[in-house]
Every structure is written in structure tokens, then in C-alpha cells.
Amino acid sequence: MDIYIDGEYFDKKNAKISVFDHGLLYGDGIFEGIRFYEGRVFKLKEHIQRLFISAKAILLEIEMTQDEMEEAVCETIRKNGLTDGYVRLLVTRGVGTLGLSPFACDKSTVIIIADSISLYPDEKYKEGLKLITCSTRRTAPAALSPSVKSLNYLNNVMAKVEAIFADAEEGLMLNEQGFVAECTGDNIFVVRDGKIKTPPSSAGALPGITREVIFQIAENLEVGIEESQMTRYDIYAADECFLTGTAAEVIAAVSLDRRLIGNGKPGPITEKFIESFRNIVGQEGKIISE
């Protein structure tokens, strides 16, 4: 495996960063997860744009243009001889001192990893996921905007631990007001009476790239969709529920806190969205070989 670090490629054993990198010391950095299918990188431009906006929000200077970053992603995939898989793109504040000040770091560090991925077993895409509500709350927007895809993921990690200990595949995270924000790594949607609802980003939901694709699919399928505040009751009372994310793609959730959602199986609208999503990713995206 060839891993990109600041313009050079290293094999897995020799891909290293300094222990003084602020990404390691303080979680000071940002990232993107990007999927590629059949030789095409899906929504590459949108991912890179979001990366640069996140960087701007935390005053992190990236010493590459967006076009250069896109090419670096494609070249890393080519180097690894892959046509289907996942890219983890990280930008850290770079090497600095043991102090908190980011201005002690001379330049940011860019890391690109391309590999295969399977977030959930294949059978879970047929059966759906079990969810539990986590006691760990989503970071409040007043503390750190959920729109920044930051390396600070400890609250998500601890929520995931709760889900694992409860024998669930995913954990539902609420905000400080008790409204639904998102899951530990995915956006959440519910279906009731043929219409779809999802929490707004102001509730603590990351404005996901796959989430935006769902809005496009809803328009194409002429299915009503809206953003509005949600409580757990909205999920308990839903006919269907599904999660979205770059790694997870689109996957049904069939229970929350031991309560079946609908009949406890992936619903027909969810299945239509899964089918539509898979058709889109097979046809759209930047061609890696170009």
C-alpha cells in the first residue's frame, strides 16, 4: 500500500508523521472520507470543497490548490491499483510545539490513504441495523460547528462504544436540547406516510455529501423530504428509517432501543433509495485514469 504524505509516497510500514504534529497532539486537523466505484471518484469536487471550507473555518492553511488536491487523491488511488474503495484524506496543523497555539506550526501536513472498505457486513444491508440511543451527546454547535469535519472525534468514539456494549450496530446521538442530531458516523432519515424527514445541520448533523444525494434522489423519485427537528419518538413512530454516509452508503435501520421501526425490516422507500444511490455511484464521478 502506497500512502501519500506531503507529496511523497511511502509504504504502510514507513508512512510516519512527527510525534509533534498537532493532529496527533491535539486532534488539530480535518478530514474527508471519499468513495470510488468502478474507476470513478464519487463527488470528489464536493468533498474537496468541503475540506477547504473546514480548513478556512479553523484557520488552517492548505498549501495546495483544490485542483492539486483532487489530482493527489486520484494519483494515490492509481498508485495502489484500485478501482473500488475508500480514501481517507487528512490535513493536520503540522509539526509544532507542545503548546496549544496553532501558530507554532510552520505548515500543514496532508495525508492520503486509499484502501478497500466494508463498514458493515453484507447481510446488514439486507436485514438492517439495530440502533440504541447514546448518553454521549453530540458536540454543541456553540462549541464546534458540526459542519467542520474535524479530527476531534472522541465523543463519536465513546458513543460508538456505548452502541457496541449494547450489542447494536450504531448509536443515535442527541444534542444538548434532546433533539436528534445524527448517528456516530452517519446521517439519519425517517419515512412516515410516504414522506421523509431528517434533522437540520443546526441540530448537530454534519451536512453530509451522501445526505445531499438523498435530497436529489427524493426529487427524482418525487418523494417529499424536509429538514425539521426530530425526537426519538419520530423514529419510534416511523414506518422506515435509514442512515447515510460515505462509508456506510445507504443502509436501513430497523430498530431503536429495542423498539421495531415499522415492521422491523427495510422498507420499500428505503430500498428504492438504496437502488437509486447504487445506480448513481456507478455512473457519476471523476474518472481516475484521466
On whether both 130 and 85 belong to a single domain, the answer is no
How far is Cα 43 from Cα 62, in angstroms, rounded to an integer?
Answer: 20
Contact (Cβ atoms closer than 8 angstroms) between residue 93 and residue 22? yes
On whether both 43 and 156 belong to a single domain, the answer is no
pTM to 2 decimal places = 0.94
Q: Which three cell numbers stand for residue 256?
A: 431503536
pLDDT in tens, 89-114: 999 999 999 999 999 999 999 999 99
How far is Cα 93 from Cα 106, in angstroms, rounded to an integer?
Answer: 9
Amino acid at 181: A
pLDDT in tens, 13-71: 999 999 999 999 999 999 999 999 999 999 999 999 999 999 999 999 999 999 999 99
On whether both 34 and 98 belong to a single domain, the answer is yes
How far is Cα 172 from Cα 133, in angstroms, rounded to an integer?
Answer: 5
Boundary residue ending a domain (115, 149, 184): 115
How far is Cα 61 from Cα 119, in angstroms, rounded to an integer?
Answer: 31
Q: Which three cell numbers stand for residue 5?
A: 504524505
Contact (Cβ atoms closer than 8 angstroms) between residue 238 and residue 262? yes
Q: Please state, rounded to an integer, the average pLDDT across all residues of the chain.
A: 95
On whether both 268 and 135 belong to a single domain, the answer is yes
Chain mean position to CA 92: 18
How far is Cα 41 from Cα 162, in angstroms, rounded to an integer?
Answer: 33
Q: Is the pLDDT of residue 283 over 90?
A: no
Confidence band of 265 (pLDDT split at 50, 70, 90): very high
Q: For residue 39, count CB atoms less than 10 angstroms from its CB and return exposed for 0-12, middle for 13-18, buried for 19 or more.
A: middle
- Does a structural domain hold residue 289? no
State the distance between the two ends of the chain, measured CA to CA, in whole angstroms.
21
CA angle 96, 90, 209 (to 5 degrees): 140
pLDDT in tens, 204-257: 888 999 999 999 999 999 999 999 999 999 999 999 999 999 999 999 999 999
268-281 helix and 209-221 helix, angle to the nearest 10 degrees: 110
On whether both 169 and 221 belong to a single domain, the answer is yes
The number of domains in the chain is: 2
Contact (Cβ atoms closer than 8 angstroms) between residue 4 and residue 72? yes
Confidence band of 270 (pLDDT split at 50, 70, 90): very high
Q: Residue 204 belongs to what domain range? A: 122-281
Confidence band of 289 (pLDDT split at 50, 70, 90): confident
Catalytic choice (149, 160, 197, 272): 149
Q: Is 149 a catalytic residue?
A: yes
pLDDT in tens, 120-170: 888 999 999 999 999 999 988 888 888 999 999 999 999 999 999 999 999
Confidence band of 290 (pLDDT split at 50, 70, 90): low
